[in-house]
Amino acid sequence: MSASTIVTLILLLQLAIFIYFILINSLYSISNIIAFLDIRSQLAISSRQHIRSLVAGIYYRPISILVPAYNEAEVVATSVRFLLNLQFPEYEVVVINDGSSDATLEILVNEFRMVKVEKPFKKTVPHEPIYGIYISPDHPHLLVLDKENGGKADALNAGINVSQYPLFCTVDADSLLDADALMRAAKLFVEDREVVATGGMVRVLNGCRIVNGKIAEIYAPDRALETFQSVEYVRGFLTGRTAWNFTNSLMVISGAFGIFRKDIALAINGYRKSMGEDMDIVVRIHRHCLEQKLKYKIVFVPDPVCWTQVPSDWASLLRQRNRWHRGLIDCLWHNKVMLFNPRYKAVGLFAFPYFLIVEALGPAIEFTGYLAFIILALFGMLNRDMALLFIMLAIVWGMSLNLGAILLDNLIFRRYERVRDLSKLSLFAVLEYLGYRQLIVVERLFATVMSFRKGEWGKQNRKEIINEQQKRTR
C-alpha cells in the first residue's frame, strides 16, 4: 500500500470521524433542550406538598431496599442508619453481605443487635448459598443476609429471593438517599400500571455536609477529580437519561438507585452475573417485555436523589470506568440480537445502536481521531489551521454542553446553595475537555480491549461518611 493510499484512507477516516463528531454533539445539544422541557413537567407533578401528603397516606406500594455490600465496613453502618430513616410508609432494608473479608457483617450485627434466624424463603432466582439471615429486634424492617461471595448481581438475586415486597429498590452501600427519594420514585408505580422500573438521579456526595442522617448542605467537592465527576454526573443524568426517557428507550438505571417490579425481575430470572448488572437488567427487561408484547415503561425520574461517593483518586476512578465500560460491552454483546431489530422498536433501532456506536465504540473512534491527526502531521498532510479550529470547536461545544447541563440543573433543581459552588462546577465544566476527558477515553479504550475478562466486585477506596455537625465528607 502506497503512502498516498494510506493518507487518503486516513483522510477518509478523518472525514467520517468529523461527521460522527457533528452528529453526536448535535444529539447532545438536542438532549439538553428535551431535558429542559421534560424535567420541568416531571417536577410540576411532584410538588413538595403532594409528596408530603403521599408519605402520610396510602398511595404507595411497599418496597424492599436491597443493599449489596462487599467489604463496606467503613460505610455500611452509616448507610443503613440513613436508610432506616427514610420517609416511606412501608419498607424493609435487606443488606446482603456478599462474603466480605472485612468486618462488614460484624459491624452490622453489633451496631443493630442482629440475631440469626432460620427464615425459610423461596429460591426463585439462582444465587450462591446463604450462610445466615439476621433480624434486628430494634429495627423490625431490617434484615441482613450473609452469603458466599458471588458478585453484586448474585447478591442482588439473593436479596430478591428473601425480600417480601412487590417492589425492590437497589441502593449501593456507599450511597445515601434523600428522605423523600423513595416516595418520589415509587409513586410512578402507583400512578401508571405500565411502569416496571424507575431510576433516580445520582449526585456526588463528596463535599456535602451531613447532619443527623440528612444532607444538610450541598457543596461542590473540594478535590478537582471529584468536581470533574460532579459535572459528569449532572450532564449524564440530567440530559442523557432524560432524553432517553422521552423516547421510552432508557437503557440504564444506575445500580446506585433503581426501583424495579419484582415480578418482572423474576420473569427474567433476576440479575445476570455481569460487571454491568444495572444496565443488563434494564436491557433484558426491555427485551422480555417487547418479546412478550407487554405494555411497559421504564422511567427516569430526575427529582429523587441518591448521593453517592465518587472515587477521589485516579487509580480508583480509572478502575471504576474500566469496569463500567466492560460491563457495557458485555451487556451489549449478550443482547446483540436487539441491534437494529425492528422487533425491539425504539430500543433496538435507536438506543441500542447509540450505546454501541457512541458509548462502547466511542472511545476507540475518538482515539482514532487523535491518532489520525498525529499520523497526518507525520506525513506532513495536516493543515494546522484546520486541526486547531477543529480542536477548538470540540472544546467550546463540549464546554457549552456542560454549562448548559449545569444551568439546567440550577434552573430546575437549585441544589447547590452557594454561588461559589456553581462557579466552581462551571470552571470544571470548562476544564473537563482539557485532559480529564482524554484520560478517561484512554482507560475506556483499554477496557474495550480487555472486555472479555471475568468480572469481580469493583472496589474503590472508600471514605467514611461523616455524620457530624461540623464536618464534611472528604
Partner 1 sequence: MKLIYSYFIDFPLYLRDTLIFFICLFFTMSVLQLVFLILHKMVLERREKRFKLKKVMYFSSLTRNFVDPDHPIYAPVDDLETHAFIDVCVDIMSGVSRQNMTIIHKAVREFGIPAFLVRNYKKSSQWITHYQIVETLGFLKLPELARLFREIISQEIALLEKNRAQTEQKKQGWLSDVHNPTARHLHLISKALWALSHICNDTDFRNIISVLHTPGFMSGKFNEYIFCNIIEAYRRREQTGVLLDKIEELFADDTVSLLIKRDFIQSCGIAHFTQSHTLVANCTDMFLTSPEIKMACIRTLAQIGDTRLEELTCLYLEDSDWRVRTVAAKDAHLCSDGIIPALRKVLCDRSYYVRLNAALSLARKGEAGKAVLRSCAGSKDTYEHDMALYALKQG
Q: Applying CB under 8 A, which of residues 246, 354, 367, 446 lies at the interface with partner 1? A: 246
Count of residues in contact with partner 1, rule CB under 8 A: 66
CA quadruple 380, 383, 384, 390: dihedral sign: negative
The piece of 117-125, 269-277, 327-335, 464-472 that touches partner 1 (CB under 8 A) is 117-125
* Binds partner 1 (CB under 8 A): choice among 85, 247, 269, 469: 247
Rule CB under 8 A: say whether 120 interacts with partner 1: yes
| Helix/strand/coil (H/E/C) assignment for every residue in the chain | CCHHHHHHHHHHHHHHHHHHHHHHHHHHHHHHHHHHHHHHHHHHCCCHHHHHHHHCCCCCCCEEEEEEECCCCCCHHHHHHHHCCCCCCCEEEEEEEECCCCCHHHHHHHHCCCEEECCCCCCCCCCCCEEEEEECCCCCCEEEEEECCCCHHHHHHHHHHHCCCCEEEEECCCEEECCCHHHHHHHHHHHCCCEEEEEEEEEECCCCEEECCEEEECCCCCCHHHHHHHHHHHHHHHHHHHHHHHCCCCCCCCCCEEEEEHHHHHHCCCCCCCCCHHHHHHHHHHHHHHHCCCCCEEEEEEEEEEEECCCCCHHHHHHHHHHHHHHHHHHHHHCHHHCCCHHHHHHHHHHHHHHHHHHHCHHHHHHHHHHHHHHHHHCCCCCHHHHHHHHHHHHHHHHHHHHHHHHHHHHHCCCCCCHHHHHHHHHHHHHHHHHHHHHHHHHHHHHHHCCCCCCCCCCCCCCCCCCCCCCECC
Site track for partner 1 across 415-454, x = CB under 8 A: ----x--xx--x---x------------------------
Contact string (CB under 8 A) for partner 1, positions 186-225, x = contact: ----xxxx--------------------------------
By the rule CB under 8 A, 346 interacts with partner 1: yes
- Of 135 and 442, the one with the shorter C-beta distance to partner 1 is 135
The interface region with partner 1, picked from 147-155, 244-252, 259-267, 458-466 by CB under 8 A, is 244-252
Using the rule CB under 8 A, is 393 a contact of partner 1?
yes
Q: CB-wise, 273 or 415, nearer to partner 1?
A: 415
Would you count residue 253 as binding partner 1 (CB under 8 A)?
A: no
113 binds partner 1 (CB under 8 A): no
Residue among 385, 452, 454, 470 that touches partner 1 (CB under 8 A):
385
Q: Which three cell numbers stand for residue 156?
A: 442482588
- For residue 40, state whether it binds partner 1 (rule: CB under 8 A): yes
Q: Which stretch binds partner 1 (CB under 8 A): 54-62, 63-71, 99-107, 305-313?
A: 54-62
Q: Build a one-symbol-per-residue string for 136-155: x at contacts with partner 1 by CB under 8 A, - elsewhere.
A: --------------------
276 vs 404 by CB, closer to partner 1? 404
Pick from 26, 30, 53, 211 the residue near partner 1 by CB under 8 A: 53
Q: Which is nearer to partner 1, 436 or 457 (CB)?
A: 436
Which of 60, 168, 228, 271 touches partner 1 by CB under 8 A? 60
Question: How far apart (Å, rounded) are the C-alpha atoms in residues 419 and 218?
Answer: 12
Binding flag, residue 19, partner 1 (CB under 8 A): no
Is the CB of 108 or the CB of 406 nearer to partner 1? 406
Minimum CB distance to partner 1 smaller for 191 or for 292: 191
- Choose, by CB under 8 A, the member of 305, 356, 406, 445 that binds partner 1: 406
Q: Extract the C-alpha cell encoding 56.
A: 402520610
Shortest distance (Å) from residue 324 CB to partner 1: 26
> Which CB sits closer to partner 1, 138 or 468?
138
Spatial contact of 98 and 273, defined as CB atoms under 8 Å apart: no
Cβ proximity of 339 and 235 under 8 Å: no
Which of 454, 382, 422 is closest to 219 using CA atoms?
Answer: 422
* 100 interacts with partner 1 by CB under 8 A: no
Our finding on whether 44 is near partner 1 (CB under 8 A) is yes
Q: Where along the sequence are the contacts to partner 1 (CB under 8 A)? A: 8, 11-12, 14-15, 40-41, 44-45, 47, 49-50, 52-53, 56-61, 115, 117-120, 122, 135, 190-193, 246-249, 342, 345-349, 376, 381, 383, 385-386, 389-390, 392-393, 396-397, 399-400, 403-404, 406-407, 410-411, 414, 419, 422-423, 426, 430
